[in-house]
Amino acid sequence: VSKRDGKMRCTWFKPEFDHSLAALRDLDNELRAGLLNNEFLVHYQPLVDARTHEIVGVEALLRWARPDGSELGPGVFVPVAEESGLINPIGLWVLRRACTDALAWNIKLSVNISAAQLRNPEFPFQLGQILEETGFPAERLELEITETCLVLDPIVAERTLDLVRGLGVDVVLDDFGTGYASIGFLRQFRFEKLKLDRSLVVDSASDESSRAMMLSSISMARALAMRVTAEGVETADQAAMVRSAGCDHLQGWLYFSPMPSSDIARHLNQSSTGNDTRKQPGRITA
């Protein structure tokens, strides 16, 4: 059966997703073609200030609009691109796209970076080049990395992150609470920000021990001068809980879902109408 057969392509990403080597190789080839044919899109999800609910930044989230009309989320195809190394050119494409889209927005831009990108010795220089090409101010950019990036090769990761910070770009530890990041780990890498994983946010609204873990994570972050974002806030109860726990920024469907860049521009314009003079719209106050 031909892999290019329309029917087969449709069934690929159903629950019975084919993890065979041949299927993954085909998916990788499609990703390669997708990059050449401009099939990727970046959506943006706002982060809001926990108290004022003002938009303080956006996270860039990659999507793949396939020729058959289906849209795939990064959870499915990023692991495949990581495996083959294709995440390197895709990741650079995301950075260039996001820095271009967000240039006119006076807020922070967060971009997710994979372990494979962090291991690439060229990465910091490529990042510097993109900042130069797009004119995007380094101090408005932050890179989100997960601890797997660091655990695999902490020495290389530390060197890369030093170079990244040398450019003026902040580093954020993403998905905190899902793995095994230790206090020593947090000290070693000195992240500017920490993002509490959605699972921690969900569980701590109902479960005492999760709440205790979240509270201690936040006080640890505070002690290390890190800002904290709560991810995946879906309900008012969760929002109230993470706000009272001391999270600085909130992100989740309760506030905004990921959306195309044109919608972000519209939301930023809206939030500036009727804004008072104390604060600039969408401006991060340090």
How far apart are the C-alpha atoms of 283 and 106, rounded to whole Å? 6
**Closest separation between CB of residue 252 and ligand C2E, Å?**
3
Q: Is residue 142 within the footprint of Mg ion (CB under 5 A)? A: no
Which positions lie near ligand C2E, rule CB under 6 A?
45, 61-62, 73-75, 78, 87, 91, 94, 112-114, 144, 174-175, 198, 231-234, 252-253, 258
**Closest separation between CB of residue 256 and ligand C2E, Å?**
8
Q: Is residue 248 within the footprint of Mg ion (CB under 5 A)? A: no
Closer by beta carbon to ligand C2E, 30 or else 144: 144
Q: Is residue 112 within the footprint of Mg ion (CB under 5 A)? A: yes
Q: Is residue 170 within the footprint of Mg ion (CB under 5 A)? A: no
**Closest separation between CB of residue 196 and ligand C2E, Å?**
10
Instruction: Identify what 258 binds: ligand C2E, Mg ion, none; CB under 5 to 8 Å per kind.
Output: ligand C2E
How far apart are the C-alpha atoms of 87 and 85, rounded to whole Å? 5
Instruction: Identify what 61 binds: ligand C2E, Mg ion, none; CB under 5 to 8 Å per kind.
Output: ligand C2E
Instruction: Identify what 91 binds: Mg ion, ligand C2E, none; CB under 5 to 8 Å per kind.
Output: ligand C2E
**Closest separation between CB of residue 175 and Mg ion, Å?**
4
**Closest separation between CB of residue 90 and Mg ion, Å?**
15
Closer by beta carbon to Mg ion, 47 or else 241: 47
* CB-based closest residue to ligand C2E: 252
Q: Is residue 30 within the footprint of Mg ion (CB under 5 A)? A: no
Binding residues (CB under 5 A) for Mg ion: these are 112, 144, 174-175, 231
